[in-house]
């Protein structure tokens, strides 16, 4: 395979069809190829037996299906599984699978690090390194589906039934890879996940929220975390550019494009910072009468960060204050704590053991 082989993983159907046409082949081969790669998990062209031998050779000469390299897998006692994927220069991104009775949710990463520097986030603390490609984003789902057992008794029996962009990075700051990746998640030739079951979580890039609403229309979660601009400026610095009023306007426009489906507002509970009754009242004023749900996230501490998690009874009181007045409010269950898989703890820490294994592998390849 040539060094400049085109990676077919993460390529949306339209682009694949154009590629086949360019190769002088019929565009419908794109559909066959997608079924092999995503639905049957096959990446070796030789196994794609409904493609002619000459086409397979052509593909081998010019293209590849290159998967992200998995550095490690961590299994939690509660069934949560976390993987680290190699992302260059000794760094890694993480994906977390959260099994529940009626669904399997994969939380995926969209960037190596993040530039937005929210005050309570481990990914933000590591700074921004680079955007992931569509192949690296879809590759996380491909890998989870290939190693996890399939679900029983369902037409579509992949382990991953729901995908949330709540891992490392700000998905709307990597729009050009995230949208093609979503295309594949929802395509019937790939995983066929409904748009409702794909959630993009953003800290509030207002113009891109509008664009996503026009072009993609998946479920939206917004990291609000504070009910007034003074506080949000400190916790979520992008608020200085796109303050709460502008952000909420964009949210209601987005909801309007989706038959007013609910937008989820994420709100991290920080002891003594944003968890008082007055904050709940301000939040109520912002969301009253709107298609909004609130998801309270108990803060997950990480080393080098000074915030504390709000006590459990205060989180419940905050929830009740909103619920009593009709705002649907849930508290996020923290899963995978024993493997550092909880929200905001994903930092792509490559352990020394893995790092050694990796550099050994590189040495071997270099000398081969």
10 lines the binding site for ligand SF4 (CB under 6 A): no
**Given 86, 94, 170, 266, the catalytic residue:** 94
Residue 315 interacting with ligand SF4 (CB under 6 A): no
Is residue 169 close enough to count as binding ligand SF4 by CB under 6 A? yes
Q: Does 114 bind ligand SF4 (CB under 6 A)?
A: yes
186/270 with CB nearer ligand SAH:
270
360 is catalytic: no
* Window 343-362: residues binding ligand SAH (CB under 6 A): 343-344
Note whether 121 binds ligand SF4 by CB under 6 A.
yes
Distance CA 104, CA 158 (A): 9
Cα–Cα distance measured from residue 240 to residue 247, given in angstroms and rounded to the nearest whole number = 11
Measured distance between the N- and C-terminal CA atoms of the chain, rounded to whole angstroms: 16
116 part of the interface to ligand SF4, by CB under 6 A = yes
Q: Which of residues 282-321 bind ligand SAH (CB under 6 A)?
A: 297, 299-300
Q: Which stretch binds ligand SF4 (CB under 6 A): 10-18, 113-121, 135-143, 307-315?
A: 113-121
How far, in Å, CA of 6 to CA of 58, rounded?
A: 12
Q: Does 107 bind ligand SF4 (CB under 6 A)?
A: no
> Residue 299: which of ligand SAH, ligand SF4, none does it interact with, CB under 5 to 8 A by kind?
ligand SAH
Residue of 118, 121, 251, 343 marked active site: 343
Residue nearest to ligand SAH (CB): 344
Which one of 80, 161, 177, 202 is in contact with ligand SAH (CB under 6 A)?
202
Query: Which range in 115-123, 211-219, 247-255, 351-359 contacts ligand SAH by CB under 6 A?
Result: 115-123
Contact letters for ligand SF4, residues 195-234 (x by CB under 6 A):
--------x-------------------x-----------
Q: Is 239 in the site for ligand SAH (CB under 6 A)?
A: no
Q: What is the 3-state secondary structure (H, E, C) of the chain?
A: CCCCCEECCCCCHHHHHHHHHHCCCCCCHHHHHHHHHHHCCCCCHHHCCCCCHHHHHHHHHHEECCCCCEEEEEECCCCCEEEEEECCCCCEEEEEEEEECCEEEEECCCEEECCCCCCCCHHHHCCEEEECCHHHHHHHHHHHHHHCCCCCCCCCCCCCCEEEECCCCCHHHHHHHHHHHHHHHHCCCCCCCCHHHEEEEECCCHHHHHHHHHHCCCEEEEECCCCCHHHHHHHCHHHHCCCHHHHHHHHHHHHHCCCCCCEEEEEEEECCCCCCHHHHHHHHHHHCCCCEEEEEEECCCCCCCCCCECCHHHHHHHHHHHHCCCCCEEECCCCCHHHCCCCCCCCCCCCHHHHHHHHHHHHHHHHC
Q: Cβ closer to ligand SF4: 169 or 336?
A: 169
The residue (of 126 and 223) whose beta carbon lies closer to ligand SAH is 223
Q: Is 343 a residue of the active site?
A: yes
Query: Contact positions toward ligand SAH, by CB under 6 A?
Result: 118, 120-121, 166, 170, 201-203, 223, 266, 268, 297, 299-300, 343-344
Query: Contact positions toward ligand SF4, by CB under 6 A?
Result: 114, 116-118, 121, 123-124, 169-170, 203, 223
Which residues does the annotation mark as catalytic?
94, 343
């Amino acid at each position: 395979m040539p060094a400049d082989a085109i990676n077919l993983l993460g390529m949306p159907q339209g682009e694949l069809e154009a590629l086949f046409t360019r190769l002088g082949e019929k565009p419908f081969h794109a559909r066959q190829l997608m079924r092999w790669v995503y639905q049957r998990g096959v990446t070796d062209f030789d196994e794609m037996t409904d493609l002619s031998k000459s086409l397979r050779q052509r593909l081998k000469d010019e293209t590849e299906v290159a998967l992200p390299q998995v550095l490690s897998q961590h299994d939690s006692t509660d069934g949560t599984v976390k993987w680290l994927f190699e992302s260059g220069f000794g760094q890694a991104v993480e994906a977390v699978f959260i099994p529940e009775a009626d669904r399997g949710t994969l939380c995926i990463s969209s960037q190596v690090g993040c530039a937005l520097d929210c005050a309570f986030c481990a990914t933000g603390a590591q700074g921004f390194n680079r955007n992931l490609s569509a192949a690296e984003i879809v590759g996380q789902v491909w890998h989870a589906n290939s190693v996890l057992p399939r679900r029983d008794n369902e037409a579509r029996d992949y382990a991953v039934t729901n995908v949330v962009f709540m891992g490392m990075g700000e998905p709307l700051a990597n729009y050009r890879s995230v949208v093609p990746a979503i295309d594949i998640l929802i395509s019937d030739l790939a995983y066929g996940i409904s748009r409702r079951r794909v959630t993009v979580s953003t800290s509030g890039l207002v113009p891109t929220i509008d664009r996503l609403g026009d072009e993609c229309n998946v479920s939206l979660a917004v990291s609000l975390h504070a009910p007034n601009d003074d506080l949000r400026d400190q916790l979520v610095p992008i608020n200085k550019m796109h303050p709460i009023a502008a952000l909420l306007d964009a949210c209601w426009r987005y909801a309007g494009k989706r038959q007013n489906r609910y937008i989820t507002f994420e709100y991290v509970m920080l002891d003594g910072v944003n968890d008082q009754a007055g904050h709940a009242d301000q939040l109520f004023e912002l969301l009253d009468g709107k298609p909004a749900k609130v998801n309270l996230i108990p803060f997950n501490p990480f080393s080098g960060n000074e915030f504390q998690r709000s006590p459990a009874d205060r989180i419940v009181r905050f929830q009740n204050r909103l619920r009593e007045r009709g705002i649907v409010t849930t508290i996020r269950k923290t899963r995978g704590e024993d493997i550092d898989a909880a929200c905001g703890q994903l930092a792509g820490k490559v352990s020394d053991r893995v790092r050694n294994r990796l550099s050994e592998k590189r040495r071997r390849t270099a000398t081969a």
